[in-house]
Amino acid sequence: MMEPPMSEDHELIMLSYTSIASHLMTHEELIQLLHQARENNHKRGITGMLLYMEGCFFQVLEGDRAVLETLYIKIGQDKRHHHVIKLLEEPIMTRGFDAWSMGYRHVTREDLVQETGLTDFLDKEESGFDGMHSEHARALISAFRQGRWQTQNTRQYRYVSLV
């Protein structure tokens, strides 16, 4: 994907956060959420990925700083989840998810251990991604970027071109 040119007042950033769903979401609810996110992200020039596990979300967003800061405020007010915790916010030179308006995977603890080796994080009593810190976030982002899950269940993925 060709990135839109950035003016001097714009900065490309990556932002990641975790949150807890207000209820355990059904497959249909998650698909609807993804459809809305992909549509809105395409319009805003946002790329990223979303993981869902045990009623918790882990999301990575890439885009213009001003756009993502405004979106993060809106995300914090969304009633579909609570305990929104920002893990990373940093400038990036290039997008790591340039082919994804929103890559997605519904994961289990076993998936995460197998693909990331994050046993120290997953051997805890908190649900899902609750209690995660930035280094764990980096490991998850890296695993997703490397496509480790994409060949296991391609029905959960939908390539969306942003061109």
Give the strand pairing for 47-53 and 103-106: parallel
What pLDDT does 117 receive? 62
Report which of 102, 2, 8, 10 is spatially closest to residue 64, judged by C-alpha positions: 10
Query: What would the pLDDT profile of 19-58 be if each residue is shown by its tens digit?
Result: 999 999 998 999 999 999 999 999 999 999 998 988 989 9
Tokens of residue 54, six digits: 């045990």
User: 75-134: per-residue pLDDT in tens?
Assistant: 999 999 999 999 999 999 999 888 877 778 787 777 776 766 665 555 556 566 766 778
DSSP of 71-129, one letter per residue? HHHHHHH-TTEEEEEEEEEEE-SS-S-TT-SSEEEE--HHHHHHHH--HHHHSSSS-TT
Q: Does residue 155 carry a pLDDT above 80?
A: no
pTM value is: 0.78
